[in-house]
Amino acid sequence: MENDILVNNSDRPLAGIRVIGLEQYMSGPYCTMLLADAGAEVIKIERPEGGDPRRAIPPFVEKDGIKKAGGFLAYNRNKKSLALNLQSQAGQDILRKLVKVSDVLVENLRPGATTKMGLDYDSLKLTNPRLVYAVISGFGRMPGYQSEYSDRPAFDIVAEAMSGIMELIGFADKPPTYTLYGLADIYSGLIAAYGIMQALFMRERTGHGQMVDVSMLDNMLALNERMVTLYSVTGQEPKRGHLQHFWPRGAFQCRDGYIAVNVPDDIIWQRLARTIGRPDLSDDPCSANGASRAANADFLRPIVEGWMADKTRAEVVDTLNAAGVPAGPVYSARDVFSDAHFRQRKMLMEIDDPEVGPYISARTTPHLSAAPEICANPAPSLGQHTRFILQELLAYSPDEIDQLVTAGIVATGEAS
């Protein structure tokens, strides 16, 4: 059973907090990974047959005939896996016993799934009044804040679309498009972790837990706050591909690739104009303020890119930053891995999986000056910690666990 014990650091901020993850795909797993990286003990609940669906979604890493999904590895480090059949009464009873000795439960199952099993917040708070119960859904689940959409399932792209974000991404002559794959999931996981922290802090004062209601659509709308404010204040609807109030902002071509530049005010525009050898553009009516620059972007872009055309990205970035114009290269994945900055910031964590070998995962943030570095335990195999959890936390005997395995209530990940 010694292989089931994770290496963790008791000095991380959430050491001593136990979290149950009724989770799948991305938002729930990312939330609990944040908590695990912060030192919490995270017990991931998975179906005995197949586990988290993300275990079967490509891309895969393979070694010696063993294949694992990269996306699963990325969002499930530093966790324990309990393979538990929640469709059975016995499995639900095991979960309730686990809730009694836990602090937090995170779930992102299909709306209504936990209610059918009697594992919703109203049911489980009777088992443990100190429980912090976080629900991540597409449209929100808290009573008093529900709408006609609340029972709908959702993936990230739906939240991007309905929040107005998708309408703003891309070019004016092209259809709306999505942003970063899984952005709504990852951001919702982050917000859920933030809400859980608030609830745990409140519990220190009140002694009681509470429900944390996290909606992917809410989060994307909050992230798109500029659109909300602009429409409220001016009645204008921002459109993709068109900047109305300032320019330049975007990617500009150099000799060997692109750099990103943002000029939010006239002071920085004056610095840029001097740097490219066109100080006259500071006072020219076509470029003296943000609105005029936005209206004349087609005229100004060739001037800016003309100065960059014979220079490398590194030369342009160094020159602009030295002049007080923030700029950075547009990186590919290869560029990120090649830049020493990310290693120096310890943002590229090496994790050694005992079956498929080492791989790199992005570190969660922030850095804390008084806390040790995040541990790097690999994502668990399905049911890897079932026997340990049942025996050590819930006092099941080895014979009782064997009976549960035979009945299909749990799986241990052991060779049959």
Mean pLDDT over the full length of the chain? 95
What percent of the chain stands above pLDDT 70? Answer: 98
SS3 358: strand
Q: Exposed, middle or buried: residue 146 (CB in 10 Å: 0-12, 13-18, 19+)?
A: middle
DSSP conformation letters of 34-45? HHHHTT-EEEEE
Task: Check pLDDT > 50 for residue 1.
Answer: no
Give the C-alpha separation, 95 to 92, whole Å. Answer: 5
pLDDT tens digits along 283-317: 999 999 999 999 999 999 999 999 999 999 999 99
Averaged pLDDT, 73-81: 97
CB-based contacts of 411, cutoff 8 Å, min separation 6: 48, 49, 83, 382, 383, 386, 405
Task: Check pLDDT > 80 for residue 337.
Answer: yes
pLDDT, position 415: 57
Lowest mean pLDDT among 49-63, 238-252, 316-330, 336-350: 238-252
pLDDT, position 266: 95
Neighbour tally for 19: CB within 10 Å? 25
Task: Check pLDDT > 70 for residue 209.
Answer: yes
What's the token pair of residue 84? 């538990």
What percent of the chain stands above pLDDT 90? Answer: 92
| pLDDT bracket for residue 345 (50, 70, 90) | very high
For the chain, how many residues are written?
416
Neighbour tally for 237: CB within 10 Å? 11
Residue 9: DSSP 8-state: -
Task: Check pLDDT > 90 for residue 116.
Answer: yes
SS3 94: helix
pLDDT, position 242: 79
| pLDDT bracket for residue 334 (50, 70, 90) | very high
What's the token pair of residue 69? 């999904």
CB distance 110 to 200 below 8 Å: no
Q: Exposed, middle or buried: residue 308 (CB in 10 Å: 0-12, 13-18, 19+)?
A: buried
Residue 276 phi/psi, 5-degree rounding, is -90, 10
| pLDDT bracket for residue 413 (50, 70, 90) | confident
Averaged pLDDT, 147-172: 93
pLDDT, position 416: 47
pLDDT tens digits along 362-412: 999 999 999 999 999 999 999 999 999 999 999 999 999 999 999 999 999
Task: Check pLDDT > 50 for residue 83.
Answer: yes
What's the token pair of residue 126? 């009777």
Lowest mean pLDDT among 67-71, 141-145, 169-173, 361-365: 169-173
Task: Check pLDDT > 70 for residue 200.
Answer: yes
CB distance 22 to 28 below 8 Å: yes
Catalytic residues: 185
Give the C-alpha separation, 412 to 384, whole Å. Answer: 6
